[in-house]
Amino acid sequence: MKKRIHSIQQVNITSPTKKESEDAFIVHESAGIFGVLDGATPLTCFRDKDGHNGAYLAAQLFKKHFLSLPETAELSEEVVKANTKLREEMLANKINVEEGYERWSTCVAVVKIKENELHYAQLGDSMIMTGYEDGTSKVLTKDTVEGISERSSRQRERDRKLGIEIPEEVYYREPLNRLRYNRSMANRENGYTVANGMKNIEPYIQSGAISLDKVRDVFIFSDGLFLPRHTLHDTYRRVRQFGLMSYIAQVTEYYQANDLRVDDRTAVWVTF
């Protein structure tokens, strides 16, 4: 039996430190496609003729692509197609796509509701969860960005032992140098996953399908909704308990009270 959608709630709140949100959401109800995109803040000064940076452009390109799809679309294939478009757009803007930190990139978390199944595809740290009638929740995706600085440090150490010339770790105490190296770890072993125009992206897409039996909602969200020292299950429970906007207000208040950077906050919440 086809699962019927009861409600759809979407939110995209821009970080107070940014001129425009580098996140985006996808609500394409006629195709059953929903998602969240989180553009990675650029490490270069590129702006297009309208003043947009690579993070914004990457997220918006993916949004436009997924909003154009028919209900027959296969998510992983469409992630690859959108990623190819992203590469072409970067080349058209003379971006050096061989240099990791120059690429435009975005995390991707998309789902498609098909009859009584939920299909999903993901790259990065935007997450997909399902909630069940018995009050439990399930995380469908892995946050591949978590711990990337530590994995990068270990990779540099391995490379030094192989005789590869790499600056000493003191060099990477400078945030920009560390972040630039981290971007070189995209879509490789022990690295992290992201849509950034690289040609080898397909094997790194997390994808699957689950039954919607006893599922009461699907929650898709960017890392701006993560609450330090709390699990993703805690996040889901708080959203269920307080509501999406109230939870986001709590997260924002916590970050501001602890002098932490408030990120863009984006989510799509579909209930059945």
Q: What is the pLDDT of residue 236?
A: 98
Give per-residue pLDDT as tens, 120-131: 999 999 999 999
Average pLDDT value for residue range 182-198: 98
The CATH architecture that domain 7-145+192-271 belongs to is 4-Layer Sandwich (3.60)
* pLDDT at 3 > cutoff 90: no
**Secondary structure of the chain: what % helix, strand, coil (to 5)?**
35, 25, 40
DSSP label at residue 105: -
Q: Does the reported pTM lie above 0.85?
A: yes
Q: Which amino acid is at 174?
A: E
Alpha-carbon span 54 to 26, nearest angstrom: 19
| Domain residue limits, the chain | 7-145+192-271
Length of the chain: 272
Other C-beta atoms lying within 10 Å of the C-beta of residue 107 = 28
Q: Where are the alpha helices (DSSP H) in the chain?
A: 54-67, 75-92, 148-161, 175-183, 232-242, 244-257
Residue 61 tokens, joined: 């390109």
Give per-residue pLDDT as tens, 242-264: 999 999 999 999 999 999 999 99
**Counts for the chain of helices (H) and strands (E), in that order:** 6, 10
pLDDT band at 1 (very low <50, low <70, confident <90, very high): low
Alpha-carbon span 246 to 45, nearest angstrom: 35
